[in-house]
């Protein structure tokens, strides 16, 4: 069992980058200046927080506190479709690497909590579950209550003053960094804007939100989605009743509010004052339909604080805001690429999927692609290009009136959306006053909440929606609770970075798969699919650069990733693609997050996230969700370590990679003329077994193995067996001796009997490929 030892301390983290040095630059010791500075601070402490993982035989990064932060970004255009790329099997890439860890600092103004360090040791396969439990314990230890808001409020109440946020002051600096003010801005508190201010009036509704003069419809659309799910906004607006104005005790009001956002792996608490920008007494930015309701404006202010100013929210990605509100993952669906407008089967499958997401508590947003010159232009049907709409309902509506509707099996698939402007609606079929509603009974119409108002909310037929909209962001609420009747997902989360080093052994910024000599220098993560097949969700999120827009560095990196199916027993980094199979790829884009949802067959996989260009530097977080524990971990070693006992017991001299494709012409093993074959590879006391292939004499094993061998002259044995209830039956074997030469193509070998000097042939052949090298980092 793992043992957790924590000694608490308070560390005042100083600026971690040297003047003139990029914080990601590595020094002569292979450390970033941020890491080196943290280590220096930690060594000077008389006592410090310490966490130790006994099963990993190492400290969990005892260099001091680490913090993370991420913000929002806009969508970018793809520059590369990696589906068209293939790595050369004859590549002579030879890459090794050293263990790395990542330091991050979250400025004090964003969070008032110190978080424990992350483990820099990847758990071994034999005790992955133990380290998994430890990671879960550490994760739970970070979920503590944020004290800063209550302390600041208490201080203001005691001193009888209203809070003014020095970190986000009521000045032009908090409004914009380039453009000028749209008018004479006055910062006012809600009590100076209306007579009876409230945080929330009669509950939260999607109709509360109206976009202001800022081009942040993406943020307003995400807020509209949030307003539909009370369990979500309760987390984003914590203890809202305690924050509400109290007319009976006005002395308790301190002009301070706080909101919570999920940023780069952590929930952080953001504190703001209630000073809001106004022109002529009216709010400049997001506002509610109710003149005395201010949760929308205050939430927008807290989010703007994370991005340094309001203008940084001008142009962004709805999916990013949805993730920041929920802490889950978002999937972007291209309706044009999927041909959902013309493919009825795909359309119905998408409808059922979105309906399931919505009914399970997820949130959905959609938009129409637009060139820069087309943004915010209207179609003749009333829809706006380049504008984010929130999906507020998805329904199957029964057609007909009275008993006819009850017995009628015909249903209409409808979807309801809301325009953040609070006006400008769809005017086609199933719009508010269209004749199509005459086909629906009054009871059904009332249940749908149909109103004939220009309030920005409208219904569309799902097939029309697929025809006009082409971008959909789906935020799925991933259930990770074991005590649930819904599907339970297992999550693995890791943090890493693309860092530059002159030594290829330490370099971790190899670029995309186009750069075949350096691509495998990127960070690598291994995970397993232990079921026959399993749906896997993979999300790669980079640190958002939007906060750096003020200094002209607000562009995200172009990122993507590749998933390879590798040897079933691989525990070291991949250095050359030989028999590994490309299982999935993602187009490189400059969005904050890239996402994949795919059903994978049983096996072991390597995930390689990368930037498009080599030497692009940045931090990232990966999240892998699967039906069963995937054991996801980062691969940091390149070959077996040399240890003291290797002097006596020997050290590997060669590495051999074997790929068993399948068998042909096997002998039947039952009365029906079939068999249930499987294959086993034996090498120097270790073995590797494939899955059983049911009822076939022509099995496809697709078994890959890699072996670090101390005795190259000792042959490798590959045996084929038949799985049987009472006792498994031997079906033949092949002996791979030292004289067997490597081949670039698969070779077919005859099966033989065992236990004889001159082995007799047995029915069937085995198709395989063997590659051996004396350089242990050649594969």
CA dihedral 582, 576, 510, 585 (to 10 degrees): 0
- The residue written with tokens 């609420």 in the block is 477
Average pLDDT over residues 260-281: 94
Q: Report the share of the chain in percent with pLDDT over 70.
A: 77
pLDDT tens digits for range 341-398: 999 999 999 999 999 999 988 999 999 988 878 877 899 999 999 888 999 999 998 8
pLDDT score of 438: 86
Residue with tokens 């607000």: 554
**389-398 and 363-367: which strand pairing?**
antiparallel
CA quadruple 310, 311, 313, 314: dihedral sign: positive
pLDDT at 400 > cutoff 80: no
- Residues 482-488, mean pLDDT to the nearest whole number: 66
CA 182 → CA 75, 174, 364, distances in Å? 26, 14, 32
Catalytic site includes residue 56: no
Percent of the chain with pLDDT over 90: 52
Looking at residue 21, its pLDDT comes to 41
Residue among 400, 431, 395 at smallest CA distance from 413: 395
Fold match flag (329-476 vs 490-635)? no
Choice among 156, 217, 286, 466 that is catalytic:
217
Give residue-wise pLDDT tens across range 559-579: 999 999 999 999 999 999 988
Q: How far apart are CA 538 and CA 600, in angstroms?
A: 12
pLDDT 10s digits, 423-474: 788 999 998 888 988 888 887 788 787 776 667 889 999 999 999 999 999 9
What pLDDT, on a 0 to 100 scale, did the predictor assign at position 553?
Answer: 65
Half-sphere exposure of 684 (CA within 13 A, CB side): 17
* pLDDT given for residue 549 in this prediction: 66
Contact 54, 3 (CB under 8 A): yes
State yes or no: is 217 an active-site residue: yes
pLDDT band at 58 (very low <50, low <70, confident <90, very high): very low
Q: Which fold has domain 490-635?
A: Jelly Rolls (2.60.120)
- Asked if 354 contacts 364 with a C-beta cutoff of 8 angstroms, the reply is yes
Q: What pLDDT digit, counting tens, does each position of 720-756 carry? A: 999 998 899 999 999 998 777 777 789 999 999 987 7
d(CA 328, CA 340): 26
pLDDT at 655 > cutoff 60: yes
pLDDT at 325 (0 to 100): 93
pLDDT tens readout for residues 215-249: 788 888 888 888 888 888 889 999 888 898 888 88
Average pLDDT along the chain = 80
Contact partners, residue 618, CB within 8 Å, separation at least 6: 24, 497, 498, 542, 543, 557, 559, 611
> How far is Cα of residue 176 from the mean position of the Cα atoms in its chain?
30
DSSP string, 252-311: G--SEEEEEEEETTEEEEEEEES-EEEETTEESS-B-SSTTB-HHHHHHHHHHHHTSSGG
Given 37, 207, 287, 387, which residue is catalytic?
Answer: 387
**How many whole angstroms separate alpha carbon 223 and alpha carbon 217?**
10
Q: What is the pLDDT of residues 467-481, one digit of tens each?
A: 999 999 999 888 876
Higher pLDDT pick, 115 / 537: 537
Count CB neighbours of 716 within 10 A.
21
Instruction: Give, for 323, the enclosing helix (H) or strand (E).
Output: helix 318-326
| pLDDT tens profile 288-309 | 888 899 999 999 999 999 888 8
Mean pLDDT, to the nearest integer, of 115-128?
Answer: 34
For the chain, the structural domain boundaries read 1-66+115-131, 162-316, 329-476, 490-635, 646-773
Q: What's the CA gap between 374 and 368, in Å, rounded?
A: 10
**pLDDT recorded at residue 404:** 56
Identify the pLDDT of residue 494: 96
- Let me know if 475 is a catalytic residue: no
**Residue 766 and residue 779: Cα distance in Å, rounded?**
23
Q: Tell me if the pTM is above 0.75.
A: yes
Q: How far apart (Å, rounded) are the C-alpha atoms in residues 257 and 156?
A: 12
Helices H, strands E: what count in the chain?
14, 28
Q: Please tell me the predicted confidence (pLDDT) of residue 738.
A: 77
Contacts of 664 (CB under 8 A, 6+ apart): 698, 748, 764, 765, 767
Sign of CA dihedral 39, 41, 47, 48: negative
* CATH code given to domain 329-476: 3.90.70.10
Q: CA-based angle 499:60:55, to the nearest 5?
A: 120
Q: Do residues 766 and 663 touch, judged by C-beta distance below 8 A?
A: yes
pLDDT exceeds cutoff 90 at 278: yes
Q: Using one digit for the tens of pLDDT, what is the confidence trace for 62-98?
A: 333 333 333 333 344 444 444 333 343 333 333 333 3
| pLDDT the model gives residue 47 | 35
Pairing between β-strand 593-611 and β-strand 411-418 as defined by DSSP bridges: unpaired
- What is the predicted pLDDT for the residue at 401? 64
Phi and psi (nearest 5°) for 293?
Answer: -110, 130
Q: Any idea which fold 646-773 has?
A: Immunoglobulin-like (2.60.40)
Better-scored residue on pLDDT, 59 or 195: 195
Distance between CA atoms of residues 346 and 445, nearest Å: 28
| Beta-carbon contacts of residue 751 (< 8 Å; ≥ 6 apart) | 663, 666, 720, 731, 732, 733, 734, 761, 762, 763, 764, 765, 766
Of 531 and 481, the structure prediction assigns the larger pLDDT to 531
116 pLDDT more than 50: no
C-alpha distance from residue 373 to each of 312, 369, 376 (Å): 20, 12, 9
Shortest CA distance to 77 belongs to which of 403, 371, 311, 288?
371
Cα-Cα-Cα-Cα dihedral of 196, 200, 204, 209, to 10°? 60
The backbone torsions φ and ψ at residue 337, rounded to the nearest 5 degrees and listed phi first, read -65, -35
Residue 140 binned pLDDT confidence (cut-offs 50, 70, 90): very low
Q: Compute the distance between CA of residue 691 and CA of residue 705 in angstroms, rounded to an integer.
A: 13
DSSP class of residue 357?
H
More confident residue, 545 or 767: 767
Confidence at residue 482, expressed as pLDDT on a 0 to 100 scale: 61
The pair of structure tokens assigned to 179 is 């453009």
Determine which one of 419, 522, 676, 722 is catalytic.
Answer: 419
């Amino acid at each position: 069992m793992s043992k957790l030892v924590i000694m608490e301390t308070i560390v005042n983290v100083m600026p971690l980058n040297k003047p003139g040095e990029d914080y990601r630059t590595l020094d002569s010791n292979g450390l970033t200046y941020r890491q080196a500075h943290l280590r220096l601070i930690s060594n000077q402490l008389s006592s410090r927080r310490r966490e130790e993982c006994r099963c990993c035989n190492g400290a969990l990064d005892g260099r001091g506190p680490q913090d993370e932060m991420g913000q929002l970004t806009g969508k970018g255009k793809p520059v590369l479709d990696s589906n068209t790329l293939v790595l050369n099997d004859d590549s002579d890439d030879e890459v090794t690497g050293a263990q790395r860890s990542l330091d991050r600092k979250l400025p004090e103004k964003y969070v008032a909590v110190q978080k424990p360090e992350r483990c820099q040791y990847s758990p071994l396969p034999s005790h992955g579950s133990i380290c998994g439990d430890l990671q879960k314990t550490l994760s739970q230890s970070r979920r503590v209550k944020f004290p800063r808001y209550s302390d600041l409020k208490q201080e203001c109440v005691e001193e009888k003053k209203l809070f003014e946020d020095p970190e986000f002051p009521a000045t032009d600096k908090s409004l914009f960094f380039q453009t000028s003010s749209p008018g004479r801005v006055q910062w006012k508190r809600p009590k100076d804007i209306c007579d009876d201010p409230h945080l929330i009036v009669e509950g939260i509704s999607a109709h509360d939100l109206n976009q202001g003069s800022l081009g942040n419809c993406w943020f307003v659309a995400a807020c509209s989605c949030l307003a539909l799910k009370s369990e979500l906004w309760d987390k984003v607006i914590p203890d809202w009743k305690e924050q509400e104005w109290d007319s009976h005790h006005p002395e308790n009001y301190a002009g301070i509010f706080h909101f919570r956002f999920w940023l780069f792996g952590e929930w952080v608490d953001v504190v703001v004052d209630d000073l809001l920008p106004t022109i002529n007494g009216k709010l400049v930015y997001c506002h509610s339909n109710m003149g005395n309701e201010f949760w929308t404006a205050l939430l927008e202010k807290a989010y703007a604080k994370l991005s340094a100013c309001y203008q940084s929210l001008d142009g962004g990605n709805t999916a990013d805001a949805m993730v920041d509100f929920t802490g889950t993952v978002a999937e972007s669906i291209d309706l044009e690429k999927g041909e959902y407008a013309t493919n009825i089967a795909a359309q119905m499958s998408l409808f059922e999927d979105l309906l399931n997401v919505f009914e399970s508590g997820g949130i959905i947003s959609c938009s129409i692609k637009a060139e820069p010159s087309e943004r915010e232009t209207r179609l003749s049907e009333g829809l706006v290009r380049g504008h984010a709409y929130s999906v507020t309902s998805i329904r199957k509506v029964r057609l007909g009136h009275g008993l006819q509707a009850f017995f009628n099996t015909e249903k209409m698939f409808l979807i309801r959306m809301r325009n953040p402007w609070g006006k400008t609606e769809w005017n086609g079929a199933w719009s508010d006053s269209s004749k199509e509603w005459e086909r629906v009974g009054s009871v059904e119409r009332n249940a749908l909440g149909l109103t004939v108002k220009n309030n920005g909310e409208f219904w569309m037929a799902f097939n029309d929606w697929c025809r006009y909209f082409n971008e959909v962001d789906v935020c799925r609420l991933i259930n990770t609770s074991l005590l649930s009747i819904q599907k339970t997902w297992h999550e693995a989360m890791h943090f890493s970075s693309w860092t530059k080093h002159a030594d290829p052994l330490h370099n971790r910024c190899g670029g995309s798969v186009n750069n075949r000599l350096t691509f495998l220098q990127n960070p690598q993560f291994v995970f397993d699919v232990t079921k026959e097949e399993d749906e896997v969700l993979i999300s790669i999120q980079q640190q958002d650069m939007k906060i750096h827009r003020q200094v002209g560095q607000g562009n995200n990196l172009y990122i993507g990733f590749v998933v390879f199916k590798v040897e079933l027993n691989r525990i070291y980094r991949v250095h050359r693609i030989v028999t590994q199979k490309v299982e999935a790829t993602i187009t490189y884009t400059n969005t904050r997050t890239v996402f994949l949802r795919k059903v994978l067959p049983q096996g072991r996989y390597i995930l390689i996230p990368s930037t498009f260009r080599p030497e692009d530097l940045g931090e990232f977080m990966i999240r892998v969700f699967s039906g069963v524990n995937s054991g996801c971990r980062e691969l940091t070693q390149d070959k077996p370590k040399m240890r003291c006992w290797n002097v006596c017991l020997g050290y590997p001299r060669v590495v051999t990679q074997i790929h068993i494709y399948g068998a042909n012409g096997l002998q039947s093993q039952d009365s029906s003329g079939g068999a249930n074959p499987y294959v086993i590879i034996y090498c120097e006391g270790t073995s590797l077994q494939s899955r059983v292939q049911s009822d076939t004499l022509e099995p496809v094993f697709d078994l890959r193995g890699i072996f670090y061998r101390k005795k190259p002259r000792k042959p490798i044995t590959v045996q084929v067996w038949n799985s049987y209830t009472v006792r498994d039956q031997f079906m033949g074997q092949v002996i791979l001796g030292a004289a067997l030469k490597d081949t670039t193509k698969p070779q077919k070998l005859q099966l033989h009997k065992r236990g004889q000097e001159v082995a007799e042939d047995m029915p069937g052949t085995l198709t395989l490929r063997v590659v051996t090298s004396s350089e242990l980092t050649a594969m």
